[in-house]
Amino acid sequence: MCGIVGLYLKNPALENQLGALFEPMLLAMTERGPDSAGFAIYGDEVKDGWIKMTLQSTAAGYDFKALMGELEGRLGCSLDWFQNASAAVLKTNADEAAVRAVIAELAPAVRVMSVGQSIEILKGMGLPKEISERFSLAKMKGSHIIGHTRMATESAVTMEGSHPFSTGQDLCLVHNGSLSNHFRLRQELRRHGIEFETENDTEVAAGYLTWRLRQGDSLKEALDHSLEDLDGFFTFAIGTRDGFAVIRDPIACKPAILAETDDYVAMASEYQALSTLPGIDKAKVWEPEPATMYIWERSA
């Protein structure tokens, strides 16, 4: 079944409250997804020439401090990092491919959850409340965030199989539904250089968008193509460095609701997840139309 929630702040004055505003939204989706949960938050951007990587370990109590020392020594790079429970956020001026290669060699239990200048992805198995408390979601700051609560249908319940999925810089996707042609698409996208770490159909959708963007598509053009090439039922919420998008398949059998005020845009699988937001009683609230893109982005 799964639950999706997203919050995009139009008012920068609210950015210090992003996590506190979003946490009740994620918890409201518990019954739709009790297996695992996660979120992608945008903010705390690194400067040009640097990247930010979110790392998570499949082993409890992983020694990230030792790994960071090894990375600094092997790569001869500048880096900064901090740990958040079972995750570490690394900021470095090293080449992404070089960092990935060293991590793969030295730390096979560590997975790269996201890479970009803004994004951090934090996720894991357990109830949404457990995930929220583990990563101190309520204290987090940023410009926008999307989250997901999972009831597994297409693959095993694992940390790696939780949403959001990211296969490109500052790009992530969460999904309610199922894709019927994900196996064929996965094989095709691999031939185009897209790499996958799970058998989850949602990771294929994220990889598809990454491939289209690499071909020069705008986000709107990539989503247009997705309606032609992705078979199945889906509501997607997509995060980028600059914004937030929502799209449903042409049949639109998976639920979604949008709300907009002068301060924010919010979406959820059910209205109850929006009910705690300030000014929701005065918001424009509507159900997104089938096969229609809704995109909000910061001005360049």
How many angstroms separate the Cα of 227 from the Cα of each of 68, 218, 232, 234, 255?
42, 15, 10, 10, 17
Q: In what order do the strands lie in the sheet with 232-239?
A: 165-168, 171-179, 232-239, 243-248, 294-297
Q: Enumerate residues 6+ apart whose C-beta is below 8 A from 128.
A: 26, 27, 29, 30, 33, 34, 37, 149
User: Is 223 within 8 Å of 247 (Cβ atoms)?
Assistant: yes
Q: Reply yes or no on whether 2 is catalytic.
A: yes
- 215-223 contacts, C-beta under 8 A, 24 or more apart: 219/243, 219/245, 219/295, 219/297, 220/293, 220/295, 223/247, 223/293, 223/295
Catalytic residue among 2, 77, 172, 253: 2
3-class SS of residue 227: helix
Catalytic sites, residue numbers: 2
